[in-house]
């Protein structure tokens, strides 16, 4: 094995997040190539999305690691801790912060993202942090261990990470002010019905939600620590001990500045995830598609797309050149207590096009609602947002691929329900509303195992 490996190509992956690790695993499945994963953040792979649960006391950090520590040695994947400072593409060589170097045959850049900072005054003070890296979690434990030390926290930026940070701090009863630039939470993505439901839900959790509010500056105390923030619109000063900057993320590629690897916001790649330099690839949050795939953004900072790119690039590296084809869009999140899943495309009122119709249903008292978008002309089903009701991925993927009509979706909605057993289902109410609005006469079909497994 040892001798064999010396002859083997050396694949080096910078970044041990979901994209890099997935690539490594799939390369290992297909080959004996020498694999090294580099990380400056933590030796072992952990689930970034689970960091919040560590702070909330649901998990210990070790629980966020999907593989036991012996896994890497057993699969002959080398782990190297360190920060890459420079890539010498002409010599196929990486230089590290500690002045060591590493030779590669093929290089995969999977360095993920970093929190956005928009040049606010005071953005580098002590107590100002993003929520992305393991170190951010340690920082948060330091500056916001409890409501005694942290009397109030201000979160800037109303996206998925912002609301997660708010939930985290509230789990320790720390008062939170949540500055959201938009007129309603995440309404550039969510239709109004859903965005407003989340607004209400944020307030239910005693979070001081400030819509239409931007950060002007962060003010320091005498020790260089956060004392307060000033709001742009009102000049109001809010006293606080911690500021969470969660206004989105951008590719973490500063170390590529002086190389000949073509970058825009991210590392530019083609459909095969290849950069302009042969034998160098980029995947995950840091990759930017030169020609974006239909409806998708050029940079997708999503867990699932990172994983898929890892799977794809592994094929290419193992001499099976494969195009990145992410299939039907899906995503999920949890807004405080409300689970959210989406399949296909549902756009907000701001972004949707002329031909898109949207059928919506909302539960009269509970935090449950759905939005189904369809083509007004052909009635083709385009996508669904579901809040508080779990839906089956397989079924929606199949319906999207087969371009089923919106009427079909409603008729067979029970097949797609994925809530735990004995939960109350709402298909009848949903379809009744649809029938009223669309003057149709759809009868809900009972759940059928045969249909659910028809694909198998």
- Give the interface with another protein as residue ranges (CB under 8 A): 18, 26, 29-30, 47, 49-50, 53-54, 56-60, 63-66, 68, 171, 204, 303-304, 307-308, 311-312, 315, 320, 322-323, 325-328, 330, 332-334, 337, 339, 341, 390-394, 397, 418-424, 449-450, 452-453, 456
Between 41 and 397, name the residue whose CB sits nearer to another protein: 397
List helix spans (H) across 75-190: 134-143, 160-171
Q: Which residues on neighbouring strands pair with residue 371, listed in sequence order?
A: 360, 385
Sheet with strand 77-81: strands edge to edge: 77-81, 34-39, 10-14, 106-109, 280-282
47, 25 contact by CB (below 8 A): no
Between 277 and 452, name the residue whose CB sits nearer to another protein: 452
Angle value at C-alpha 17, between 398 and 320, nearest 5 degrees: 60
Between 188 and 322, name the residue whose CB sits nearer to another protein: 322
Between 181 and 334, name the residue whose CB sits nearer to another protein: 334
Q: How far is the CB of 334 from another protein (least distance, A)?
A: 4
Between 227 and 296, name the residue whose CB sits nearer to another protein: 296
The 10 Å CB-count burial string (b at 16+, else e) for 394-433 is ebbbbbbeeebebbbbbbbbbbbbeeeeeeeebbeebbeb
What angle in degrees, to the nearest 10, is found between the helix axes of 18-30 and 303-317? 30
Q: Which of 155, 46, 110, 112 is nearest to 250 (CA)?
A: 112
Sheet with strand 226-231: strands edge to edge: 215-220, 226-231, 237-239
Between 263 and 389, name the residue whose CB sits nearer to another protein: 389
Q: How far is the CB of 59 from another protein (least distance, A)?
A: 5
Residue 302: CB partners within 8 Å, gap ≥ 6?
A: 331
Residue that has been written with the tokens 């867990």 in this structure: 303
For residue 263, how many other CB atoms are within 10 A of its CB? 18
Q: How far is the CB of 64 from another protein (least distance, A)?
A: 5
Q: How far is the CB of 425 from another protein (least distance, A)?
A: 11
Q: How far is the CB of 305 from another protein (least distance, A)?
A: 8
Between 227 and 334, name the residue whose CB sits nearer to another protein: 334
Between 312 and 385, name the residue whose CB sits nearer to another protein: 312
Between 17 and 122, name the residue whose CB sits nearer to another protein: 17
251, 113 contact by CB (below 8 A): yes
DSSP string, 110-124: ---EEE-----BTTT
Between 212 and 332, name the residue whose CB sits nearer to another protein: 332
For residue 355, how many other CB atoms are within 10 A of its CB? 12
Between 29 and 121, name the residue whose CB sits nearer to another protein: 29
CA 366/CA 346 separation, integer angstroms: 22
Q: How far is the CB of 310 from another protein (least distance, A)?
A: 10
Between 58 and 265, name the residue whose CB sits nearer to another protein: 58
Q: How far is the CB of 360 from another protein (least distance, A)?
A: 20
Q: How far is the CB of 429 from another protein (least distance, A)?
A: 18
Q: Which residues on neighbouring strands pair with residue 217, listed in sequence order?
A: 121, 230
Q: Which of 281, 376, 296, 292 is nearest to 328 (CA)?
A: 296
SS3 321: coil
Q: How far is the CB of 233 from another protein (least distance, A)?
A: 31
Using alpha carbons, list the distances in angstroms from residue 365 to 197, 362, 368, 369, 385.
Answer: 11, 9, 8, 10, 19
Q: How far is the CB of 327 from another protein (least distance, A)?
A: 4
Q: How far is the CB of 213 from another protein (least distance, A)?
A: 26
Q: How far is the CB of 57 from another protein (least distance, A)?
A: 4
Q: Which residues on neighbouring strands pair with residue 268, listed in sequence order?
A: 288
């Amino acid at each position: 094995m040892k001798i064999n490996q010396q002859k083997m190509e050396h694949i080096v992956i910078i970044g041990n997040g979901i994209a890099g690790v997935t690539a490594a695993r799939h390369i290992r499945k297909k080959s004996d190539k020498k694999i090294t994963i580099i990380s400056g953040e933590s030796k072992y792979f952990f689930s970034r999305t689970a960091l919040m649960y560590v702070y909330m006391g649901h998990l210990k950090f070790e629980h966020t690691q999907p593989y036991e520590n012996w896994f890497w040695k057993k699969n002959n994947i080398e782990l190297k801790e360190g920060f890459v400072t420079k890539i010498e593409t002409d010599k196929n060589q990486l230089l590290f912060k500690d002045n060591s170097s590493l030779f590669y045959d093929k290089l995969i850049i999977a360095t993920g993202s970093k929190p956005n900072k928009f040049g606010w005054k005071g953005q580098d003070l002590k107590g100002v942090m993003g929520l992305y890296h393991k170190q951010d979690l340690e920082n948060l434990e330091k500056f916001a261990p409890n409501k005694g030390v942290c009397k109030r926290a201000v979160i800037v930026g109303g996206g998925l990470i912002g609301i997660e940070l708010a939930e985290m701090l509230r789990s320790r009863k720390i008062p939170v002010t949540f500055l959201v630039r938009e007129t309603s939470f995440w309404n550039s993505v969510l239709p109004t019905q859903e965005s407003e439901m989340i607004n209400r839900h944020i307030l239910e959790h005693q979070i001081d939600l400030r819509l239409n509010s931007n950060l002007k500056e962060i003010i320091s105390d005498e020790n260089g620590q956060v004392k307060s923030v000033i709001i742009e619109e009102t000049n109001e000063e809010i006293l606080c001990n911690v500021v969470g900057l969660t206004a989105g993320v951008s590719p973490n590629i500063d170390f590529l500045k002086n190389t000949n690897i073509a970058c825009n916001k991210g590392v530019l790649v083609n459909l095969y995830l290849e950069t302009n330099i042969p034998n160098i690839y980029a995947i995950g949050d840091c990759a930017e598609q030169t020609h974006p795939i239909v409806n998708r953004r050029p940079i997708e900072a999503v867990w699932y797309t990172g994983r898929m790119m890892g799977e794809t690039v592994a094929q290419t590296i193992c001499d099976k050149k494969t195009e990145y084809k992410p299939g039907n869009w899906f995503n999920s999140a949890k807004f405080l207590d409300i689970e959210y899943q989406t399949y296909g495309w549902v756009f907000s009122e701001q972004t949707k096009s002329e031909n898109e119709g949207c059928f919506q249903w909302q539960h009269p008292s509970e935090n449950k609602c759905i939005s189904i978008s369809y083509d007004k002309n052909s009635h083709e089903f385009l996508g669904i947002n579901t809040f508080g009701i779990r839906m089956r991925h397989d079924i929606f993927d199949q319906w999207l691929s087969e371009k089923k009509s919106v009427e079909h979706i409603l008729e067979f909605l029970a097949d797609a329900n994925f809530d735990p057993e004995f939960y109350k289902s709402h298909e009848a109410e949903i379809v009744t509303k649809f029938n009223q609005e669309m003057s149709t006469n759809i009868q809900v079909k009972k759940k059928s195992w045969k249909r659910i497994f028809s694909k198998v």
